[in-house]
A and B are shown apart, each in its own frame.
Chain A
Amino acid sequence: MMELNEQDVEDVAVGAAILGSGGGGDPYLGKLMCLQALRRGKRIRLVDLEEVPEDAFIVPTAGMGTPIVLVEKLPNGSEPLNALRILEAYVGKKAYATIPIEAGGVNSTIPLAVGALADIPIIDGDGMGRAFPELQMTTFFTHGVAVSPMSMADEKGNSLLISALDGYWAEKIARVVTIKFGGIAWVAIYTMTGRQAREAVIPRTVSLALKLGRAVREAREMGRSPLDHLLHVSGGFELFTGKIVDVARRIAGGFTRGEAKIEGLDSYRNETLTIQFQNENLVAVKDGEIVASVPDLIIVLDVETAQPITTERLRYGQRVAVIGMPCHEKWRTPEGLKVVGPRYFGYDVEYVPIERRVKGGGLK
């Protein structure tokens, strides 16, 4: 068990933005919820998967709905508790802990606040190891954890429990209810036992985010290159450094798809890297050859500050470093790749783990 302080929360938010691999939204709101909770004497306790009892009742939590509503109609703070409470009432068990569904993006930090407010620990792990655009893109799903029973709550104190036949119905109902709740709902979903969690959870991703954020901050404080520091602690690979020379975007099926062309600088002079994205970065192609693809993480960072740049903020002229990080083994199974592999996103290519693509591996 480990407790996070205000500085840790700041670091986790930075790390979560990095793990967002270009998408997932801003961990800012969850961070502020955490800071407020800490200042009111609440505790953010992180528990390792190993410490979780077999029969523990684990309830992942998240915010769901329209991004613009999320930044405008901020939560009351009681929603996740209400969602937890009715789930507990329905299942007849007390929640032992909560856990993020995604390690990157907006829903990475919110469960930390939920745990603090509900006075339960947060399991150091998640269901993506990064950010993905859809709720079924989790290792919870690929390991057979059912979406429902799930619960939802609004800021007014109304709450609702869904026990659906399958994910399709759960989503259909949840969508309608989210609209009724004013465009945003706070959900508890994919409940599992400690035993299931050991199978389905990608472990130690909250502490990974913490480590990444801390590396960036400490490097800045010491006047060192945050990028080198980050590569060192992340076990990632530097794929490219260059200047963005073109960004093209189009809206397709509710998602923003597009690509960014980067011209090499320094040791990458005369080379070109193209990143294709759909909310998150999907593949990186160097001179016609794929150098990294989903589900591995492709992260674009400001070359000076190591500040991650989300796909919607990519623009001409930015000097960026592109790094790749291996995804968790759980995504590299046939079941995992079916849900988040390159083919799911429309690329007719075989997934090759990044460490094999980056021949020789290691730092460049």
Chain B
Amino acid sequence: MAEKFGKRELEDVIWGATLLGAGGGGSPKNGLKLLEDLLKASPEGVTLISPEEFGSEEYAVMVAGIGSPKVLMEKGFGPEAIYAFEAISSLQALAGKRITHLYPGELGGFNVMPPFYVAALKGMPVVDADGCGRAVPELETTLFYLYGIPSSPCAMADSKGNIVIFYTRNPMDSTMAENIARHVSTAFGMGAAFATWVVNGEELRRALALNTVTLCRRVGAAIREAKERGGDPVRAAVEAVGGVELFRGKVADISTRTVEGFDFGRFKLEGVGGYQGKTLTVEFKNENMVVWSGEGEALATVPDLICTMTLNGTPLTNADMEVGMEIAVIAASASEKWRKHPEGFKVWKHILEKMGYTGDYVPVK
């Protein structure tokens, strides 16, 4: 069912996506700023259509930002997304694929928004789906990779209109794609947009996490409404995502370390309320990867979502977390697309192993 998403709906989407970003996915502040620009260009908002409505002969693309969040904050974001979209569109048009829809690459306070921005300016609908059902740290930990949606060709652009389109020899070589994209983004001054993963209706339904935008909206709305009526926003969020509450506590420590060239982080909570006297540790690489109980038991791992929000109802990314904050940790089941795929856990293992977790997948009930 097609539905118009205006200011309120999209704000809900942003906050819901921040929670489902599982620690990453970009700053909701940047997301809200982009929403402002979107509404200036298109006050009535954007049309969202369900995956079923998206035809098998139609094509959709994802658009996202790449570079440093700080640069995004300072320089703003917007035109680059349009340029990147136009570049991939004209390229695909020459190959006979007319792109008429957009969709988010992942869920996150910022990363969910660029496709809406482009859709608004181009008068196109967004499809209710995304490429991860969460936020992810690498191009290899995406459903695109798992289900064979090639990352090549990929279009990149800066805000001035410089465009780069690249092809990797193996169109599925997302490591190389990521590598090239990072290099190009430095030439673009650390702030750029990229557009890739063109899918038709059949591919979208086969590979992507479905109905996730409406899920974000539901989660965002539930939290907002709980706050409005003075209820417990954490409980509302847990219900909306259909997850479990793992912990409530005070952030006692946040630390980062480098293992084999990768930046890893870890935060530690000291329980409050019913969790008094207990501790909890979460390890993250951008997104939260594994959560340990004070007794050293792994309570949840990727691909399931390990989400955080403040007790007073603000979904939280690791970048915005500060020592002393009182937060809740919520675990939610990953999209079926992750759970049903035989390699759905395996693609994460190399990250978990560097964090010292060598065990199996611990599905959230």
Residues in A lying within 8 Å of B, measured CB to CB: 82, 86, 89-90, 92, 156-165, 169, 172-173, 175-177, 179-180
Contact = CB atoms under 8 A, between A and B. Distances in A.
A323 B180 CA distance: 46
A173 B184 contact: yes
Contacts of A162: 162-164
Given A89-B94, A163-B87, 17 more contacts: A86-B167, A157-B168, A158-B167, A158-B169, A160-B165, A160-B166, A160-B167, A160-B184, A162-B162, A163-B162, A165-B162, A173-B162, A173-B187, A173-B188, A175-B187, A176-B183, A180-B180
B169 A164 contact: no
Interface in B241-268: none
Contact of A177 (B87, B153, B176, B180): B180
Contacts of A90: 91, 94, 165
Contacts of B168: 157-158
9 contacts: A82-B167, A86-B167, A157-B170, A158-B176, A160-B165, A163-B164, A165-B160, A165-B161, A173-B184
Closest 10 A-B residue pairs measured CB to CB?
A: A157-B169, A160-B166, A176-B187, A163-B163, A161-B165, A180-B183, A92-B94, A173-B187, A159-B167, A164-B162
Nearest to A178: B183
Interface string B88-123: 000100110000000000000000000000000000
B165 to A, nearest CB: 4
A156 B87 contact: no
Contacts, number: 69
Interface residues of B, number: 24
Contacts of A156: 169, 176
A176 B184 contact: yes
B180 A158 contact: yes
A161 B94 contact: no
Interface string B170-214: 100000100110011011100000000000000000000000000
B186 to A, nearest CB: 6
Given A165-B160, A177-B183, A180-B179, A159 B91 contact: no
Q: Is chain B's interface secondary structure helix, strand, loop, or mixed overall?
A: mixed
Nearest to A169: B162
Nearest to A154: B169
A161 B183 contact: no
A172 B158 CA distance: 13
B155 to A, nearest CB: 9
Contacts of B188: 173
B164 A160 contact: yes
Contact of B95 (A82, A89, A159): A89
A161 B164 contact: yes
Contacts of A157: 168-170
A156 B169 CA distance: 7
B287 to A, nearest CB: 26
Contacts of B165: 86, 90, 160-161, 163
Contacts of B176: 156, 158
A227 B299 CA distance: 85
B166 A173 contact: no
A176 B164 CA distance: 12
A169 B187 CA distance: 9
Interface string B53-95: 0000000000000000000000000000000000100010011
B166 A158 contact: yes
Contacts of B186: 176
Interface in B123-176: 153, 160-170, 176
B94 A164 contact: no
Nearest to B90: A90
Given A86-B165, A90-B91, A160 B160 contact: no
Nearest to A166: B162
Contacts of A172: 187
A179 B179 CA distance: 12
B169 to A, nearest CB: 3
A170 to B, nearest CB: 8
Nearest to B164: A162
A357 B111 CA distance: 66
A192 B32 CA distance: 44
A173 B160 contact: no
Contacts of B91: 89-90
A177 B156 CA distance: 13
A159 to B, nearest CB: 5
A177 B94 contact: no
Nearest to A85: B167
